[in-house]
Structure formats: structure tokens, C-alpha cells
């Protein structure tokens, strides 16, 4: 789908998106390789095909804004500003991992950039993000909270409870649904009654919209507009981004439950290629655009090499960060 | 010392902590009107509806939003209304609150207090009467507090609110009106320190929460027949005061544990196992547990009474323990 060309588009801004989307893709491809190399031990969920949402949303957040993410959270974390090396070390469970090797892919987080965690429990982040927004309101601060979740999450209770809560307390929170068509190996449509996330949100009085999540311009624009509303005290907003999960549910899922033609068609809507197309029509050379991918791959290759060579965390880490009661190996604790 | 009830002591503690720290706030259903047991009565006037906040009937959001609010720098005091309803928020407590600090490698802390009124009270039947304290002791990351007196309720709640970790704070519904002396000054009670309710030489009785009062009555009855029981109120179950229990069992050589909750898998089993591992050689008789049968709690008073562990049962068990002691070794 080719958009009419808007000459007012800020080229530099979208070049940065292009770079970030390539970094996410390269990180995911490298993680997939690490998974094949049996160096990633647990399950990992790749966001290949969904990079425009991560980049488009997170670029419009400030560092002080909170972000809560899902099991498919590498892209969000990277786009929020986390260091890919510390992330890759975490995926491999090595020393220097961003969570000291205790969380892995599904608990990837970087509190120093406001990223308060991916989550291994579908929809659990909705209430947590809502609560972070509640804290912002109580403290009279000006940042916001953002929660990204999948289309499968809207069938769990926290979607109802968290959205209702955010409306009742008029909280500064942006809900982002990644409507990628699948919840694990099941088509989400088949298990969802009614019109989906945006309609459900509107029924609770929350401003909500459905947007093409593979078009970086649309993602960027709607996110910017909604965040401005939220910062102006207009309460929670929800965006449901339509996208497609180009790979399997996990890195080891061949996703043979979907027709090849469907996947092929989806690749034609690849958000990165669509962004490249836009930028080349705006006069950026293909060479420069291709260079973005090359640089991203080199970066992630370095990161992977560092992670592979890193030692395991020291054993003491198994017993720290439990609670403030001293060493669990000693005495009463 | 000032006389006040168990409920008033908790209210005082919360008010003191809210005055001290503007980041402390309370959230739960019907808090504005004082909480369903009146334990928040009057606080709305002083602190306003943002800090004594009503909540929708959304237990998983009450718990889950508090996890987020705690990570984001406030100190929520979460009111669960009845311990039984906290079961609607198990993921938020067990998978999120208890583990966030660890899973994220210490990048965040979750300073929140989860108040769960528990226990048998006024024919409330199986969904409004449970004591589930032992479940929580099983979960790394949680502190578990089970106060039995007004002084402890004040001192422990204050410590809980200042704690940087989630604290499951189990108040017993049947003793909201129980009166006792509370120190005039702000006495904080540390986690993991038991209270010696009564000294004795013949047998150690360990209890907590409302059952502690039933055990105290049993100790008085035993005294009248010449058996000197030492009674320990653990006050917190995680951490628990092993040293106080060990010291006492070393002196008496006998141990009886009594709790209102189900005996099977109850925290009494943990205490019994620990003492058996550490002090087997000083035991003069088998360790005894007096706790509830593994059946749901009934409605009709005579049926409900079958679940309760009475002072008489404790006296009987203590007598037996003292009687067999001669031949045990
Ligand atoms: C409460 C819960 N139930 C089930 C799972 C297993 N699970 C992990 S991801 C997933 C699918 C989630 O689908 P969606 O929310 O659409 O996110 P997506 O994977 O498409 O990004 C499921 C069922 C889980 N992690 N948590
Ligand atoms: Mg999905």
C-alpha cells in the first residue's frame, strides 16, 4: 500500500525511525540465531514485522515516561533506550545481563530509561502500567505511563479492570494493543467476541482508535497526538495497531498453521520496507537506507559476540534481590 | 500506655505513617466510608479521597495497580476486604509483586502492604473465613505478618509500611474489637521477632493471630493443673523467630503448635520440621499440632465450632505431651 506523498514529513525524524526499526530487526534476527545456536535457553518471542509500533510509540515517549511491555518485548525495550548488549547478555543469561541473568527475555527491563519490564503473564502489565500512572498522578508529576500488550491480552480480566480503573481515576496512560492476528497458535479473531480492543475501550469511555501499525507515519502521528492529549490531562487513550507477526509465536515455532500465501502477502507489508519506500520517495538514496541495515547487523553481531564470550553470573546472584531480609542462605531467612 | 482496640491501633499506625510520608496512600473498596470493619474510619477527613481511595470491585487491579504504583515510587497500602478475595489477585501478588525485584535483577522494588482480614468470624462460611497464611510463607519475596494484639498491630503495620518489600498483612476479623495497651511513643516492631506472651518450663506453645488468645487461655488452664506452659506469639511467619522457639524448646523439651488454619500444610508443619531437624536430641515428647481439620468452614455455629481449635483441645494435647515425656527418649 503506497501512501500519498506528504512533503511536510520530517525526513530526519523518519530516518531515525528507519534506523531504530533496523536495529530492532537485527536484534531479533540475531536473537533467533542465538536460539538456533542453543545459546538462548528459554523461549523467546520475536517482534519481526511489528517494528513500526515499537519505534513509532517509543520515540514519542520521554525517558521519564514509564513503559510496560509483553513477552514480545525486545523491540519495545530497545526503542525505549536500553543497551542492546546488556539485553543480549540477559537473553543468554550471562554476567552483565540487564537483569543479572535472573529474568531472561520475558522479563527484559531497563528501569534507568523507564522501562519497567516485559512480562511472562499475558495482560499482567495492564494493571501495573495503570498503577504506575496512578503514582504519577498522586505525585503530581508530568510524565505518563505506556502499556503495550497483544490482541490476545484483551480477553483476560486485567484488560477490563485496568482500563476501567484508568478511566475512573483519569490517569495519564497510553494503552497500545499490537493486533498481530495471533495469540500463540490460535487466530485471535476466533477467540474474541465483538469488535476488539478499541471498541471495548470506547465502551468504557476511553478514547480509542484502530490504526495501520505497519505504517510508521501513521503510528508516529497518532501516538504523538494521543500522548499530547494525555499530557494535557485528558486521561487514558488506547491505540489498536493492526500488524502481522511475520515469524512464529516463539523463535522455534515454524508457524505451519498458517498458509504460506498469507505470510507472503504479509511480507509485502513489511513496515521497514514501507518506511524505506517512503524515505526513498522523499529523496533519500537506497544506498543510505541499505547502510542502516548493514550498520544494525554489525552492531548486533558485536553484541552477540560479547554475549557469547561472557561468563555466567556468579552463583551469589541466585540469592540476592529477593527481599530486604538478609542473605536467604543464612539464619532464619 | 493507652488502651485501644486492635482496629484503632491499625488506624493509628496508618495515620501516623501517612502524616510522616506523603507517598503512603491506601486503596480499597469502601475505604471512604471507613472500610468494611471501620478500620479506616475518619481517615478520609484527614487525608482526602486521593490518599484514602475507594476502588472499583477489581481485586486484580487493586493489587496490580498497586504493584505499578509501588514500582513508580509510592507506598500503597492495599485493602483486600477479606483475605478470601485476595485470591482474585493471585497473579498480581505472587507472580508480580513478590518477584518483580528479583526478576528484574534488583532494578525495582515493590514497597506495598497487602492487608487481608482473615479468619473465622460470625458465621461467615467458607468464602469469608479462611486463614491462608501458610500459602504466603511459601512464596519467596513476601513478608507475612500475623499480629494478635493492638500493640503489635500498630508496631507491625508501621514496620510493614516502611518495608521496601511486599508485606502480606493478615489481621484477624474476630479481634477487631479486642482491647489492649499500646505504647504512647511510636514503637516499631521488627519482622522476625516473636513475643513471649507467658513464661513457663514444661512445654512450649507457639501460636499467632487470634489463635494466640485461645492458646493463652489454654496456658492459664494448664497452670491451674500444675503444667507450666511457655507461650510464644510469633507475630510474623516470614521471617519467623526461630531463635526464640529454639531457646524455649531447649528449656522445656516439648513443643505444641496451634493455629486456626488447616493443619495439613499449615505453618505449624514448618515449625515442627525445623525444630525436629535442629533440636531432636532435646525433645522429651513428640511435637504436637492443634489446628483445623481439612474441611471447608461451615455456616451453622455448631458446625463452624467443629473447625475451631478450642482451649480445651490445646490443654488435652499439652497434657498428653507432658505425660508421654518420660519414655520418649
Ligand atoms: C496468563 C497467561 N496465559 C497464557 C500464557 C501463554 N502465552 C504466552 S504468549 C501467549 C499469546 C499471547 O498473544 P497476544 O497477547 O496476542 O501477544 P502476541 O504473542 O501475539 O504478541 C500465550 C497464550 C501466558 N504467558 N500467560
Ligand atoms: Mg497477538
Q: What's the CA gap between B224 and B205, in Å, rounded? A: 16
Catalytic residue status for B128: yes
Chain A residues closer than 8 Å to B74 by CB: 134-135, 138-139
* Residue B142 DSSP SS3: coil
Ligand sitting nearest the alpha carbon of A45: 1
pLDDT digits (tens, 9 = 90+) for B153-166: 999 999 999 999 99
Residue of chain A nearest B108, judged by CA positions: A111
Cα(A151) to centroid of ligand 1, in Å? 9
Nearest to B140 among A124, A165, A322 (CB): A322
- pLDDT of B169 above 60: yes
- pLDDT of A6 above 90: no
Total residue count of chain A as it appears in this document: 333
- pLDDT for position A332: 47
In sequence order, the 6+-apart residues with CB closer than 8 A to the CB of A196 are A151, A154, A177, A179, A210, A240
Which of A5-19, A217-231, B97-111, B270-284 bottoms out in mean pLDDT, i.e. has the lowest?
A5-19
Mean per-residue pLDDT over chain B, rounded:
97
Cα–Cα distances in angstroms (integers) from residue B137 to residues A75, B123, B125, B168, B268, in the given order: 37, 27, 24, 9, 11
Angle at B240 (CA atoms; ends B237, B246), nearest 5 degrees: 135
Nearest atom (ligand 1) to Cα of A184: 11
Cα(A249) to centroid of ligand 2, in Å? 9
**Ion ligand 2 residues within 5 Å by Cβ:** A 150-152, 180, 182-183
* Mean pLDDT computed over A114-129: 98
Map out the domains of chain A with their CATH numbers: 11-307 (3.40.50.970)
- Cβ–Cβ below 8 Å for B65 and A328: no
* Mean pLDDT computed over B274-297: 97
The yes-or-no answer to whether B2-182 and B195-322 have a common fold is yes
Cα–Cα distances in angstroms (integers) from residue A332 to residues A45, A163, B193, B237, B242, in the given order: 39, 42, 11, 11, 6
- pLDDT of A184 above 80: yes
Q: What's the CA gap between B101 and A200, in Å, rounded? A: 33
- pLDDT of B277 above 90: yes
Residue of chain A nearest B25, judged by CA positions: A138
| Residue for grid cell 503530581 | A140
- pLDDT for position A7: 66
- pLDDT of A308 above 60: yes
CATH class in words for B2-182: alpha beta
The protein residue with its alpha carbon nearest to ligand 1, atom 12, reads: A183
* Mean pLDDT computed over B212-222: 98
Chain B residues closer than 8 Å to A107 by CB: 103-104
Q: What's the CA gap between A28 and A49, in Å, rounded? A: 10
C-alpha dihedral sign at B110, B115, B119, B120: negative
Nine-digit cell string for A288 = 543510505
Nearest atom (ligand 1) to Cα of A47: 21
Of B8, B58, B57, nearest in space to B34 by CA: B8
On the CB side of B297, how many CA atoms lie within 13 Å of its CA? 25
Cα(A79) to centroid of ligand 1, in Å? 22
pLDDT digits (tens, 9 = 90+) for A212-253: 999 999 999 999 999 999 999 999 999 999 999 999 999 999
The protein residue with its alpha carbon nearest to ligand 1, atom 4, reads: A122
- pLDDT of A8 above 90: no
Q: Is A183 in the pocket of ligand 1 (CB under 6 A)?
A: yes
Phi, psi at B98, each rounded to 5°: -70, -25
pLDDT digits (tens, 9 = 90+) for A295-305: 999 999 999 99
What confidence tier does A1 reach under pLDDT thresholds 50, 70, 90?
very low
* Mean pLDDT computed over A71-87: 98
- Cβ–Cβ below 8 Å for B56 and A135: no
Chain A residues closer than 8 Å to B108 by CB: 109, 111, 116-117
- pLDDT for position A333: 44
- pLDDT for position A330: 77
Our mutation pick for probing the ligand 1 site, out of A46, A49, A152, A255, counting the most ligand atoms within 8 A of Cβ, is A152
Catalytic one among B128, B172, B213, B259? B128
**CATH number of the domain located at residue range(s) B195-322 in this protein:** 3.40.50.920
Q: Is A153 in the pocket of ligand 1 (CB under 6 A)?
A: yes
- pLDDT of A294 above 70: yes
Chain A residues closer than 8 Å to B95 by CB: 120-121, 124
A230 CA to chain B: closest CA distance, Å? 18
pLDDT digits (tens, 9 = 90+) for B64-107: 999 999 999 999 999 999 999 999 999 999 999 999 999 999 99
Note the pTM of the prediction, 2 decimals.
0.97
Strand-by-strand arrangement of the B167-169 sheet: B52-54, B24-28, B75-79, B113-115, B167-169, B143-145, B236-238
Cα(A185) to centroid of ligand 2, in Å? 9
Domain ranges of chain B: 2-182, 195-322
* Mean pLDDT computed over B174-182: 98
Amino acid at each position: 500500500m503506497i501512501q500519498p506523498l506528504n512533503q511536510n514529513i520530517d525526513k530526519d525524524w523518519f530516518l531515525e525511525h528507519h534506523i531504530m526499526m533496523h536495529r530492532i530487526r537485527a536484534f531479533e534476527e540475531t536473537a533467533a540465531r542465538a536460539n538456533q545456536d542453543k545459546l538462548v535457553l528459554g523461549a523467546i518471542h520475536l517482534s519481526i514485522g511489528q517494528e513500526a509500533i515499537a519505534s513509532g510509540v517509543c520515540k514519542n515517549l520521554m525517558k521519564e515516561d514509564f513503559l510496560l511491555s509483553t513477552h514480545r518485548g525486545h523491540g519495545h525495550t530497545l526503542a525505549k533506550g536500553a543497551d542492546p548488549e546488556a539485553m543480549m547478555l540477559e537473553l543468554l543469561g550471562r554476567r552483565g545481563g540487564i537483569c543479572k541473568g535472573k529474568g531472561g527475555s520475558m522479563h527484559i527491563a531497563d528501569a534507568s530509561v523507564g522501562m519497567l519490564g516485559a512480562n511472562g503473564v499475558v495482560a499482567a502489565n495492564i494493571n501495573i502500567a495503570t498503577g504506575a500512572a496512578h503514582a504519577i498522578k498522586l505525585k503530581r508529576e508530568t510524565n505518563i505511563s505506556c502499556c503495550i500488550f497483544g490482541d490476545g491480552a484483551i480477553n483476560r480480566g486485567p484488560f477490563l479492570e485496568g482500563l476501567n480503573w484508568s478511566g475512573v481515576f483519569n490517569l495519564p496512560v497510553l494503552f497500545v494493543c499490537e493486533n498481530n492476528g495471533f495469540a500463540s497458535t490460535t487466530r485471535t479473531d476466533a477467540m474474541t467476541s465483538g469488535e476488539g480492543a478499541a471498541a471495548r475501550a470506547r465502551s468504557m469511555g476511553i478514547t480509542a482508535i484502530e490504526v495501520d501499525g505497519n505504517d510508521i507515519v501513521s503510528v508516529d502521528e497518532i501516538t504523538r497526538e494521543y500522548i499530547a492529549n494525555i499530557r494535557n490531562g485528558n486521561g487514558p487513550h488506547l491505540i489498536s495497531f493492526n500488524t502481522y507477526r511475520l515469524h512464529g509465536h516463539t523463535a522455534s515455532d515454524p508457524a505451519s498453521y498458517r498458509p504460506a500465501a498469507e505470510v507472503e502477502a504479509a511480507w509485502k507489508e513489511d513496515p521497514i520496507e514501507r518506511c524505506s519506500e517512503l524515505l526513498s520517495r522523499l529523496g533519500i538514496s537506497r544506498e543510505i537506507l541499505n547502510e542502516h541495515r548493514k550498520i544494525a547487523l554489525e552492531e548486533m553481531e558485536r553484541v552477540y559476540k560479547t554475549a557469547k564470550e561472557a561468563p555466567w553470573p556468579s552463583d551469589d546472584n541466585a540469592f540476592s534481590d529477593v527481599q530486604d531480609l538478609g542473605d536467604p542462605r543464612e539464619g532464619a531467612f | 500506655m493507652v488502651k485501644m482496640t486492635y482496629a484503632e491501633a491499625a488506624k493509628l499506625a496508618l495515620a501516623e505513617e501517612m502524616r510522616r510520608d506523603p507517598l503512603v496512600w491506601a486503596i480499597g473498596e469502601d475505604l471512604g466510608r471507613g472500610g468494611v470493619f471501620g478500620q479506616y474510619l475518619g481517615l478520609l477527613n484527614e487525608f482526602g479521597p486521593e490518599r484514602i481511595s475507594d476502588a472499583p470491585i477489581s481485586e486484580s487491579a487493586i493489587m496490580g495497580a498497586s504493584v505499578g504504583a509501588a514500582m513508580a515510587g509510592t507506598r500503597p497500602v492495599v485493602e483486600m476486604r477479606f483475605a478470601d478475595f485476595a485470591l482474585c489477585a493471585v497473579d498480581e501478588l505472587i507472580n508480580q509483586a513478590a518477584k518483580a525485584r528479583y526478576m528484574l535483577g534488583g532494578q525495582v522494588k515493590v514497597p506495598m502492604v497487602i492487608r487481608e482480614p482473615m479468619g473465622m468470624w460470625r458465621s461467615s462460611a467458607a468464602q469469608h473465613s479462611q486463614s491462608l497464611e501458610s500459602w504466603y510463607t511459601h512464596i519467596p519475596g513476601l513478608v507475612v505478618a500475623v499480629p494478635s494484639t493492638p500493640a503489635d498491630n500498630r508496631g507491625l503495620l508501621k514496620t510493614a509500611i516502611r518495608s521496601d518489600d511486599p508485606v502480606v498483612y493478615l489481621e484477624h476479623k474476630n479481634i477487631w474489637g479486642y482491647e489492649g495497651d499500646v505504647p504512647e511513643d511510636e514503637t516499631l516492631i521488627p519482622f522476625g521477632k516473636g513475643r513471649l506472651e507467658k513464661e513457663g518450663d514444661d512445654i512450649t506453645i507457639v501460636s499467632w493471630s487470634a489463635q494466640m488468645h485461645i492458646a493463652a487461655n489454654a496456658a492459664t488452664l494448664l497452670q491451674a493443673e500444675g503444667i507450666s506452659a511457655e507461650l510464644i506469639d510469633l507475630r510474623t511467619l516470614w521471617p519467623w523467630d526461630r531463635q526464640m522457639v529454639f531457646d524455649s524448646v531447649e528449656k522445656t523439651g516439648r513443643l505444641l503448635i496451634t493455629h486456626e488454619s488447616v493443619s495439613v500444610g499449615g505453618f505449624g508443619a514448618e515449625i515442627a520440621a525445623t525444630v525436629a531437624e535442629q533440636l531432636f536430641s532435646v525433645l522429651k515428647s513428640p511435637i504436637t499440632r492443634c489446628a483445623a481439620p481439612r474441611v471447608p468452614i461451615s455456616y451453622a455455629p455448631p458446625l463452624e465450632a467443629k473447625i475451631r481449635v478450642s482451649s480445651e483441645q490445646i490443654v488435652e494435647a499439652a497434657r498428653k505431651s507432658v505425660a508421654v515425656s518420660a519414655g520418649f527418649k
